[in-house]
């Protein structure tokens, strides 16, 4: 009987359960350097564009406040979950990616989220009023002073923070358990704390998940080898 051996490509495919491909680079440090460069450029472009749209839409607002939003209390200490969780979830997701095309498309999806959301920020501008409270001097008060200085109160619907957090969940290879659960926990934490820090309305958070999922489906999923198998539940 004629027997065939599996090709090295299939053996080493990161989405087939084999060894990581390191993005096609021979040396690990080159793959890490490539990630850092791509992520740095993508982050700078995202933040710069987001800020520009916020300034363009500043001063115009559609009221999205509901009784549910009013019922949610302002919980200042949840800042320490909101901001770190947002950064941690995205960083872990990117660190776990070992396919160059998936990484490239993931960064493209983040920029696409910014572009798509800006349509709503300009045509349906919404602003969440800052809490009328005086925080006691300390680390938390300083953290809010920084946040409110760099993040204007508009650009709420849909939430870009929640959308990027949701995207982080979808781009994380589920085979990389148990670390793969970190982006999910972080995204869920961000979805709640954008409400308790009074940064967003509840509809902003829900729509953020929809935008993040759509960005993954249209941009990233087509280049994920064996996507259905790699992300199938055990």
Run of H or E including 230:
helix 227-230
SS (H, E, C) 116-167: HHHHHHHHCCCECCCCCCCCCCCHHHHHHHHHHHHCCCECCCCCHHHHHHHH
* CA-to-CA dists, residue 37 to 18, 41, 76, 87, 96, angstroms: 26, 6, 34, 17, 16
pTM above 0.85, yes or no: no
Residue 65: pLDDT above 90?
Answer: yes
> What phi and psi values does residue 207 have, to the nearest 5 degrees?
-65, -30
Selected residue with higher pLDDT from 22 and 194? 194
Query: In which residue are the tokens 């839409």 written?
Result: 57
| Cα dihedral 184/189/191/197 (nearest 10) | -160
Selected residue with higher pLDDT from 48 and 17? 48
pLDDT for the residue numbered 176 = 73
Q: Give the model's confidence band at 21: pLDDT under 50 very low, under 70 low, under 90 confident, else very high.
A: low
pLDDT for the residue numbered 18 = 42
**Phi-psi category of residue 17: left, alpha or beta, with phi > 0 → left and psi -120 to 50 → alpha:** left
Residues 42-58 as b or e (16 or more Cβ within 10 Å = b): beeebeeebeebbeebe
Residue 199: pLDDT above 70?
Answer: yes
Which of these, 22, 194, 178, 179, lies nearest to 103 by C-alpha position?
22
Contact (Cβ atoms closer than 8 angstroms) between residue 176 and residue 126: no
């Amino acid at each position: 009987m004629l027997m065939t051996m599996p090709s090295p490509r299939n053996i080493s495919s990161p989405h087939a359960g084999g060894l990581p491909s390191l993005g096609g680079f021979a040396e690990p440090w080159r793959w890490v350097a490539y990630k850092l460069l791509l992520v740095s450029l993508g982050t700078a472009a995202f933040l710069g564009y987001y800020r520009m749209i916020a300034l363009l839409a500043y001063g115009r607002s559609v009221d999205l406040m509901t009784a549910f939003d009013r019922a949610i209390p302002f919980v200042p200490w949840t800042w320490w979950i909101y901001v770190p969780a947002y950064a941690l979830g995205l960083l872990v997701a990117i660190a776990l990616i070992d396919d160059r095309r998936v990484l490239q498309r993931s960064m493209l999806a983040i920029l696409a989220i910014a572009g798509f959301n800006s349509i709503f920020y300009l045509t349906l501008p919404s602003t969440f009023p800052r809490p009328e409270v005086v925080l006691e001097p300390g680390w938390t008060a300083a953290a809010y002073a920084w946040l409110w200085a760099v993040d204007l109160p508009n650009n709420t619907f849909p939430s870009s923070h929640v959308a990027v957090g949701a995207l982080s969940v979808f781009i994380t290879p589920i085979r990389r358990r148990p670390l793969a659960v970190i982006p999910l926990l972080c995204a869920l934490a961000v979805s709640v704390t954008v409400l308790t820090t009074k940064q967003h309305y509840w509809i902003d958070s829900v729509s953020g998940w929809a935008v993040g999922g759509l960005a993954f489906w249209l941009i990233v999923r087509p280049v994920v080898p064996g996507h259905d198998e790699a992300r199938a539940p055990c």
